[in-house]
Amino acid sequence: MNTTQNAKVAIFTGAARGIGAALVQRLAKDGFAVVVNYASSSKEADALVDDVRASGANAIAVKADVSNPDDVRRLFDTTEQQLGKMNVLINNAGVLKATPLADTSDTLYDQTFNTNVRGTFNTLREAATRLNDGGRIVNFSITALKLNMPGYAIYNATKAAVEAFTPVFAKELRGRHITVNTVAPGPIATSLFFEGKTD
């Protein structure tokens, strides 16, 4: 395992599988020390950390529910204690269950907004004082936001909020050479894309 204290540090939320896991592997290959955040996928997170360490990079897995501000503070505290101050934050954690608006339960509404919006809010707020100058923040949205597909009203609303956060936060961090951007992938063959949908 590479324990070099000079490595740049990247936190990835929702990183145990899918796009997050692929990004973790890429930044580790580029020399970053990486933090694999997960809420429930401990087996996948641990396996990913083992793979990254086997490649010679430094990695830790940290369980934290991004919708909980105390968990987010602990995620950042653990990162700083074990790897150092962070240079990159990737807000990848998200939930999606395509459901017509009229059929959306209060529970599903709360779960989707808590993870996708409150989770991003919590990490951005924490990063405001914890991210090194010259750092990078990337928030994830989705191309479906522009397609207005039936069943995506609640999910799209959460991603619209994330897109609204991004340019405002970039201006609020002006002067510290920190960039804040949104990436909106199209369909990617991950469990988030396939689960809960008909063929």
Nearest to 124 by CA among 170, 78, 63: 170
Residues serving a catalytic function are 155
Dist CA 137 CA 69 (whole Å) = 18
Dist CA 145 CA 142 (whole Å) = 6
pLDDT recorded at residue 20 = 86
pLDDT recorded at residue 2 = 41
Report the half-sphere exposure of 76 (CA within 13 A, side-chain side).
23
pLDDT digit of tens for each residue in the chain (199 aa)? 444 456 899 999 999 988 889 999 999 999 999 999 999 989 999 999 999 999 999 999 999 999 999 999 999 999 999 999 999 999 999 999 999 999 999 999 999 999 999 999 999 999 999 999 999 999 999 988 889 999 999 999 999 999 999 999 999 999 999 999 999 876 665 554 556 546 6
pLDDT recorded at residue 196 = 56
Place of tokens 């459901």: 99
pLDDT recorded at residue 6 = 67
Residues whose CB is less than 8 angstroms from the CB of residue 77 and which lie 6 or more positions away in sequence, other chains included: none
Strand blocks (E) in 75-189: 88-91, 136-140, 179-183
Is the CB of residue 55 less than 8 Å from the CB of residue 31?
A: no
| Domains by residue range for the chain, with CATH | 9-193 (3.40.50.720)
Dist CA 57 CA 28 (whole Å) = 6
pLDDT recorded at residue 198 = 63
pTM: 0.89
Amino acid at residue number 61: A
List the beta bridge partners of residue 63.
38
